[in-house]
Amino acid sequence: MPEVHRKLQPIPFTDISFQDDFWSPRIKVNRDVTIPHIYDQCQATGRISAFTLDFQRSLPAPIVLIFGDSDIAKWVEAASFSLADFPDENLQAKVDDVIEKIIHAQQPDGYLNTHFIKGDPAMRWKNLRDWHEMYCAGHLIEAAVAHFHATGSHVMLDALTRYADHIDATFGPEPGKRPGYCGHPEIELALVKLYHATNNPRYLQMATYMVEERGAQPHYYDWEARQRGDDPAKYWAKTYDYCQAHLPVREQTKVVGHAVRAMYLLSAVADLAHEKNDLSLLVTCQRLWENLVSKRMYLTGAIGPSAHNEGFTQDYDLPDETAYAETCATIGVMMWNHRLLQFNGESKYADVIERALYNGFLSSISLTGDQFFYENPLASFGENRRQTWFDCPCCPPNIARTFASLGQYFYSSNADGVWVHQFAQGTAHFDLGGVPIQLRQQTDYPWNGNVRIEIGVDRVTEFGVHIRVPGWCRQWSVKINNLQLDIQPDANGYLVINRDWSPGDCIFYAMEMPIELTWANPAVRALQGRVAFQRGPLVYCLEAADHQDIPLETIALDGRSLTPDVFEAVHEPNLLGGLTIIQGYALALAQEDGADRLYQNAIPKGKKIKITALPYYAWANRNPGAMRVWLPVY
Amino acid sequence: MPEVHRKLQPIPFTDISFQDDFWSPRIKVNRDVTIPHIYDQCQATGRISAFTLDFQRSLPAPIVLIFGDSDIAKWVEAASFSLADFPDENLQAKVDDVIEKIIHAQQPDGYLNTHFIKGDPAMRWKNLRDWHEMYCAGHLIEAAVAHFHATGSHVMLDALTRYADHIDATFGPEPGKRPGYCGHPEIELALVKLYHATNNPRYLQMATYMVEERGAQPHYYDWEARQRGDDPAKYWAKTYDYCQAHLPVREQTKVVGHAVRAMYLLSAVADLAHEKNDLSLLVTCQRLWENLVSKRMYLTGAIGPSAHNEGFTQDYDLPDETAYAETCATIGVMMWNHRLLQFNGESKYADVIERALYNGFLSSISLTGDQFFYENPLASFGENRRQTWFDCPCCPPNIARTFASLGQYFYSSNADGVWVHQFAQGTAHFDLGGVPIQLRQQTDYPWNGNVRIEIGVDRVTEFGVHIRVPGWCRQWSVKINNLQLDIQPDANGYLVINRDWSPGDCIFYAMEMPIELTWANPAVRALQGRVAFQRGPLVYCLEAADHQDIPLETIALDGRSLTPDVFEAVHEPNLLGGLTIIQGYALALAQEDGADRLYQNAIPKGKKIKITALPYYAWANRNPGAMRVWLPVY
């Protein structure tokens, strides 16, 4: 039987610290602004007081959506992550208060969902397909596990254990239980966490059952609909693709449906491949990953082009301007790839994480930390701006919990050594057979590719340091102390340096980071004849703020002189928190004879103009105006 | 006071005959197949039996839509037009039978709408905004006028006169009447026709009032909604732009909303500019025409990109693949431009008619005459095919009536002479101060631009022949008999030849018709970096049927050698009824290294392949497959 288990373990975010100018300020803003802001919004919209169970559903305010519990759960998780790194009495008190309210709402049988306790008790567990009950439970479980790890307190964990036990008593393969699973996957990955937090294998079994039963015939959602007196054929989303329940997961060949659901489900599938040592589940992930990455992912790492189903459509359907590209789905991309990365340390998964992290994810929040994008299009010609909140506010707390636990994505370790997946100035602590080791990165990443890694050991210690060669990187060099190494990346895409490390040893890793011009696969019809700028991990865009006299849509690159070396990277320390822009010349197009004519038998005339591209993540932090990643070539 | 009246009069279609290989076969198919097919479909779907008033609204079949009366009305109009040119006892009997049924349904007060007589009597005239009552009346009036002209019979005209009188008694500015007008314009232009058929100026007054009242405040649709107990703010279409009632027509600056409604309204506005000698209405038409033609019209003459409102969105929003481009709207373009053309004989209006006629209109029907497109996208990558019928079948009878009266678009005359707007082999008869004159065109248009026009006079007669120089034509020559003329088009874009014409005089007009490459205005984001083929009046497309081994979306033109002279026009007499194709070389794109990768830092590699373009109108007459007008350039 093949060995499927993960060979690597992520170094927990609590053992990572950032001491850089890129992530540290964002994490501080997350702590100082975003987490308090989300608390205030949850309070103002009744998401906290809902747990007192004295709200009126008929009142227009506070608005408590059917999955309102999940929003505050993600806030508790984010706050707990933050507390684990940065103790804060005020935040701790708020968390304690919210948890007290949550526990107060729990019913004697363990059930815990404010909407169905108070708003619609007769409908409890009647519509797993649409009503997010287990989804909310999953987020509460994740919050409880995070709170337990951060504080050592069992109080929320115990409550959620009782809720999980209630769900276990209601659903499952055993006689008298219903073979149900949630339309919005989430609880599956949460139950794996609960299993590890409690060491109770029952929760792993629950997660396994929910993944295995998904898409089986006779279909639970058909049965459940008939029980409600509904015609299953009248399902509003028309097909169970929407919730990845159209087929058993092992038979699925494409990533389909609602993009967040797909990523959460596949995160659990990856977890179970490891936990159960199940190659068929890992192969399923690999197959769907290939489909995602080769045919269904935006350049920014975002996924899901369609607003209609908040998700996937067809292969190669990646329009820029109408991209839905939900923030939560991009976070899901990171979650899933993080799990896949730990199996064998293949750099392709870390590449996807990096792409999503620096682009599709980071674009979702303003530099001020209190405004958010739900959708992250790759072009905008209206007045598209980040919002302070949403009627469906799943994204803001998802962003907050990601920032608060960001370090988890950067390093892994095992008994043989350490993996440097991502680059940022700061420190990682890990333990090698009982020997504490530190890695200290010094770098200005992502502005240049020079990374100094100091090995912090107390005495000479042998282990391997694995350093990722990013997919975008074509030239690099490595020195140890003053010794140039002549090594190539291994089959997994990492430079592997196995040696006896002495205190003070330094690795000098230099990745060349030129400006790159990127073309999409010609099968992507929406991007034909278009080019995007990338530099290192960053996708760039043009923004109206830098091109005030020229309609942004008329700016094209000059196909007669289209090589990266006609553009220049310039660091601007005072612009939008400090960033490297790309400058050069392009064409402002107009009809050849200047006439305001729709069609003519001549290629539009281009006037040479200077252009500035800035990192995509930084757009929409100045005056409202157009933005475009993919530029036409004339 | 400026003279606004039309200087030209169209030569009626009954005085035009086609003797060509292009239109004649289509008109014959319209007569032999399309008109009988639509009758059968109207019968099968209860649109005829509805007039017996014994249908049950609750039965799922026959489906009688709220505007079902208009479909059979357009059939009566089409059949009447056809009978005027081609007597046919069988068709005449069907028309008589349908008219008898229609008249039978008329109520004692003159009212005549099967849905509101039988299905929902309490709602009669309660929702002019949404329910198409006057729209249906308008089409019945147009049918009655056509039937009267074709047969001399007053029977339907009298019935519809009574219905118009009933409407006149119900709506209008006078005390006790309601200031209402229809959400779907149509009756306005029909009332102008009724005025001419009856010589009763009351109907012109009705049309004038309906156009003048449209968009006035306080708004009739607000009042009407409140009368029904509805909140006007909850209008499903959100804004009265949808029905061009957001502002008085003279204050409208862009063509907006539902595209068919816009064209029908503006056709009436053009009619009234003439009838009332009202410059402000003509100026309104000119302003909206500029907006349409310079910012909102597809290369095919189709209009209205959005399925959402079946209409307009923003300037320069002209996506190819998702183009709604409804057939009825393209017909509306022809109707409106035909009316504008008669004011001063400006060729730009005939250019638009030609563009719409040969492309957006002609694509809407199969060569067999029994399958129809409702939407006419400029690219298709699915299995998009024409249908035999639609739940909302407004387009098929609109196509039929257009073919049956096609000749009207080709010539105009006045006391000074004749205008040749369009080119087709055949004969036009007109009358110049009592002197009967014939023009006989000999030509293979649109396959080449050589047109021989023989002047049929009995004796020497002086008049002007105005021959259009199409917008697409850049080189031409004219001879009379053997004499080369050295003339330029006049300010209206016509070659004007004033002389004493002798029997047998011939004009030899030769328009050069090279292959042209067309670029869209760079402000059209969806078409940036793309090129379309045109030749003469025809827009070309690539179709999968001619490129079976190559995914059509990967075919690009080679930007390094992109001139029209590398392509060749080849006439194929046996292909799809005979047509001229364009052949040449292009690139089949693939990722540079052949990998199935979404993004890379290299321009896709192009393999040289042979391509065939065929006229857009002819697509989807072979095996289902992709089609594309606008090709990327690499």
- The torsion angles phi and psi of A4, rounded to 5 degrees, stand at -100, -30
The confidence band for A215, taking pLDDT boundaries of 50, 70 and 90, is: very high
Contact residues, chain A, for B589 at CB < 8 Å: 522
Q: Does A204 lie in the same domain as A98? A: yes
Give residue-wise pLDDT tens across range B82-97.
Answer: 999 999 999 999 999 9
What Cα–Cα distance (Å) separates residue B433 from each residue in B410, B416, B454, B460, B463? 21, 9, 20, 14, 11
Task: Give bridge partners of residue B605 from the DSSP assignment.
Answer: B590
The total domain count for chain A is 4
Q: Does B225 lie in the same domain as B83? A: yes
User: What distance in Å separates residue A220's CA from the closest CA in chain B?
Assistant: 32
Contact B597 A294 (CB under 8 A): yes
State which residues form the domain around A423.
413-511
Contact residues, chain A, for B523 at CB < 8 Å: 551, 553-554
Q: Is A454 helix (H, G, I), strand (E, B) or coil?
A: strand
What Cα–Cα distance (Å) separates residue A475 from each residue in A130, B204, B507? 50, 79, 72
Q: Does B160 lie in the same domain as B35? A: no
Q: Does B55 lie in the same domain as B183? A: yes
Specify whether the CB–CB gap between A480 and A462 falls below 8 A. Answer: no
Give residue-wise pLDDT tens across range B153-172.
Answer: 999 999 999 999 999 999 99
- Which pLDDT does position A565 carry in this prediction? 87
End-of-domain residue from the set A236, A271, A290: A236
Query: Which of A58-67, B111-120, B249-258, B451-460 comes out lowest in average pLDDT?
Result: A58-67
Specify whether the CB–CB gap between A264 and A189 falls below 8 A. Answer: yes
Q: Is B94 helix (H, G, I), strand (E, B) or coil?
A: helix
Burial degree of B120 (CB within 10 A; 0-12, 13-18, 19+): middle
pLDDT at B129 over 80: yes
pLDDT at A118 over 80: yes
Q: Does A258 lie in the same domain as A171? A: no
**Tokens of residue B150, six digits:** 């074709």
- Which pLDDT does position B629 carry in this prediction? 98
Contact B634 A529 (CB under 8 A): yes
Cis before B218? omega within 30: yes
The confidence band for B539, taking pLDDT boundaries of 50, 70 and 90, is: very high
pLDDT at B533 over 80: yes
Q: Does B569 lie in the same domain as B474? A: no
Query: Which of A317-321, B402-406, B558-562 comes out lowest in average pLDDT?
Result: B558-562
Chain A residue whose CA is closest to B588: A522
Contact A632 B294 (CB under 8 A): no
User: What distance in Å separates residue B245's CA from the closest CA in chain A?
Assistant: 25
Contact B589 A522 (CB under 8 A): yes
End-of-domain residue from the set B363, B380, B406: B406
Whole-angstrom Cα distance, residue B139 to residue B186?
7
pLDDT at A407 over 90: yes
Contact residues, chain B, for A517 at CB < 8 Å: 601
Contact A523 B553 (CB under 8 A): yes
Tell me which residue in B559, B589, B596 faces A559 most closely, judged by beta carbons.
Answer: B559
- A243-258: average pLDDT: 98
Whole-angstrom Cα distance, residue A496 to residue A502?
17
Whole-angstrom Cα distance, residue A571 to residue B407?
68
Whole-angstrom Cα distance, residue A438 to residue A442?
13
Q: Is B39 helix (H, G, I), strand (E, B) or coil?
A: helix
Which of A293, A474, A521, A527 is best to mutate for the B interface (most B CBs within 10 A)? Answer: A521
What Cα–Cα distance (Å) separates residue B532 from each residue in A587, B320, B582, B588, B613? 22, 11, 12, 17, 10
Tell me which residue in A517, A556, A599 faces B299 most closely, judged by beta carbons.
Answer: A599
Q: Does A538 lie in the same domain as A456? A: no
Residues of B with catalytic function: 310, 394
End-of-domain residue from the set B479, B511, B543: B511
User: What distance in Å separates residue B563's CA from the closest CA in chain A?
Assistant: 10
Chain A residue whose CA is closest to B606: A522
Per residue, what are the HEC states of B253-309?
CCCCCEHHHHHHHHHHHHHHHHHCCCHHHHHHHHHHHHHHHHHCECCCCCECCECCC
- The torsion angles phi and psi of B92, rounded to 5 degrees, stand at -60, -40
> In chain B, which residues touch A (CB < 8 A)?
293-295, 297, 299, 318, 321, 379, 381, 516-525, 528-530, 534, 551, 553-554, 556, 559, 589-591, 596-604, 632-634
Whole-angstrom Cα distance, residue A613 to residue A581?
6
Contact residues, chain A, for B295 at CB < 8 Å: 598
Which of B521, B565, B591 is best to mutate for the A interface (most A CBs within 10 A)? Answer: B521
- A9-35: average pLDDT: 98
Contact B516 A601 (CB under 8 A): yes
Contact B598 A295 (CB under 8 A): yes
User: What distance in Å separates residue A305's CA from the closest CA in chain B?
Assistant: 15
Task: Give bridge partners of residue B431 from the DSSP assignment.
Answer: B436
The confidence band for A101, taking pLDDT boundaries of 50, 70 and 90, is: very high
Chain B residue whose CA is closest to A296: B598
Contact A597 B297 (CB under 8 A): no
Q: Does A314 lie in the same domain as A401? A: yes
Packing angle, helices A187-198 and A155-170, rounded to 10? 120
| Sign of the dihedral defined by the CA atoms of residues B285, B289, B290, B291, in that order | positive
User: What distance in Å separates residue B525's CA from the closest CA in chain A?
Assistant: 7
Chain A residue whose CA is closest to B471: A600
Whole-angstrom Cα distance, residue B9 to residue B27?
23
Q: Does A627 lie in the same domain as A505? A: no
Q: How many CB pairs under 8 A join A and B?
A: 118
Pick the more confident residue, A614 or B391: A614
- Which pLDDT does position B57 carry in this prediction? 55
Category of B325 on φ-ψ map: left (φ > 0), alpha (ψ -120 to 50) or beta: left
- Which pLDDT does position A77 carry in this prediction? 98
Contact residues, chain B, for A598 at CB < 8 Å: 293-295, 297, 299, 318, 520-521, 524
Give residue-wise pLDDT tens across range A506-541.
Answer: 999 999 999 999 999 999 999 999 999 999 999 999
CB atoms within 10 A of CB A558: 15
Cis before B446? omega within 30: yes
Give residue-wise pLDDT tens across range B433-445.
Answer: 899 999 999 999 9
Whole-angstrom Cα distance, residue A121 to residue A123?
5
The confidence band for A591, taking pLDDT boundaries of 50, 70 and 90, is: confident
The CATH number assigned to the domain holding B434 equals 2.60.40.1180
**Tokens of residue A115, six digits:** 């909407």
Q: Does B272 lie in the same domain as B385? A: yes
**Tokens of residue A110, six digits:** 């363990």
Tell me which residue in A534, A598, A632 faces B529 most closely, judged by beta carbons.
Answer: A632
> In chain A, which residues touch B (CB < 8 A)?
293-295, 297, 299, 318, 321, 379, 381, 516-525, 528-530, 534, 551, 553-554, 556, 559, 589-591, 596-604, 632-634
Q: Does B251 lie in the same domain as B381? A: yes
Give residue-wise pLDDT tens across range B206-258.
Answer: 999 999 999 999 999 999 999 999 999 999 999 999 999 999 999 999 999 99
pLDDT at A221 over 50: yes
Whole-angstrom Cα distance, residue B416 to residue B7?
10
pLDDT at A60 over 70: no
- Which pLDDT does position B382 carry in this prediction? 83
**Tokens of residue A170, six digits:** 């209601």
- Which pLDDT does position A59 carry in this prediction? 45
Q: Does A506 lie in the same domain as A444? A: yes
